[in-house]
Every structure is written in C-alpha cells, then in structure tokens.
Amino acid sequence: MPALGETLTLPGWNGKPHLFVVVWGPGQIAQDATNDSVLLVCFDSIQPGVKYDPSCVLQAGDHPFISKPTFVSYRHLRSDEATHVDKMVASGVWAAGKPVSAAVLKKMQAGLCASKAVKPKYKAAMGCPPPPPRPSAGP
C-alpha cells in the first residue's frame, strides 16, 4: 500500500521522469470509484518570468530530489487507485524513492488546501477547511 510522503518516479509526459509524492490516502474519495485511492502531486522548477502556483514552494535540500527553488504543481494532481500504484511499482514501471520529511509533507498538504488548482472533492477528502463565502454582488 502506498504510504503518505512516499515518492514515486513516473514516466513523464515530456520524456523526462517526474517525481510524485503521496499526499493523501489510501482512502475513498466522494464521487470517485469505491476503491481506495491516493492523491499524488509532483514538483516543478521555478523559472524566471514564468508564473507558478505559490501555494507550496520548496528549496534546495528540502528533499534530495530538489536542487533549486521548486513549487508543487497541484494542477498535475493525480488520483490513482492504491492497488494500481502497487501494481505499477511491483512491475517496475514506477519507482519508489526516498520519502519526503514529515515537515515537507505537512507543508505540501497545507499547500493543497490553499491552491486554487485543486478540485473541491480532493480538498474535501483532505479535510481542508471550506473556502470563505464570496461576498454578494449587492442589489
């Protein structure tokens, strides 16, 4: 079973492998399959002049994988069934690596709750506080 804070290297959509972190689960997500799932998020480097999600920024040394200022890319959040994750690791398609520290995991989870890129059902699964009500437009 995937564990909180576990890192997984997945084949990348751009030809480079990407490191994902288990930030929630395993558990059931409302409106999704009835099987236990995990939520995975990945890192991306901060590039000068390029906008990024500031919800969780990590520095070199926060994890051996991180060598320069990096943000958690919540827009690339994945929900995978825990059994699928286990199969992908067992088959060698995905590789398990050094977990993130408890402090980094906590920071990543708080960033997920703060990020505007995360769907409400995932925030609800994480136990994030509901967003403040929007002010009415008036009469």
Cβ–Cβ contacts within 10 Å for residue 125, how many? 21
Mean pLDDT in residue range 17-39: 86
Could you tell me if residue 138 is inside a domain?
no
**pLDDT band (50, 70, 90) for residue 137:** low
Share of the chain above pLDDT 90, in %: 65
User: What is the spatial distance between Cα 92 and Cα 90, in angstroms, rounded to a whole number?
Assistant: 6
Q: Are 118 and 77 in contact (CB under 8 A)?
A: yes
Q: Name the DSSP class of 63.
A: S
d(CA 139, CA 118): 32
Inside any domain, residue 81: yes
Asked whether residue 134 is assigned to any structural domain, the reply reads no
Which domain range does residue 99 map to?
7-126
Stretch 107-114: mean pLDDT: 95
Does a structural domain hold residue 137?
no
Between 132 and 111, the higher pLDDT residue: 111
Say if 116 falls within a structural domain: yes
Helices (H), the chain: 82-91, 102-114, 120-126
**CB neighbourhood size of 62 (10 A):** 18
Number of domains in the chain: 1
For residue 6, is pLDDT > 60?
yes
User: What is the average pLDDT across 112-122?
Assistant: 93
Asked whether residue 22 is domain-assigned, the answer is yes
- The answer to whether 74 and 53 have CB atoms below 8 angstroms apart is yes
Q: pTM here?
A: 0.88
CB atoms within 10 A of CB 32: 13
In a domain, 75, yes or no: yes
Q: What share of the chain is helix, strand, coil (3-state, %, to 5)?
A: 20, 30, 50
pLDDT tens digits for range 42-84? 999 999 999 999 999 999 989 988 899 999 999 999 999 999 9
Residue 131 lies in a domain: no
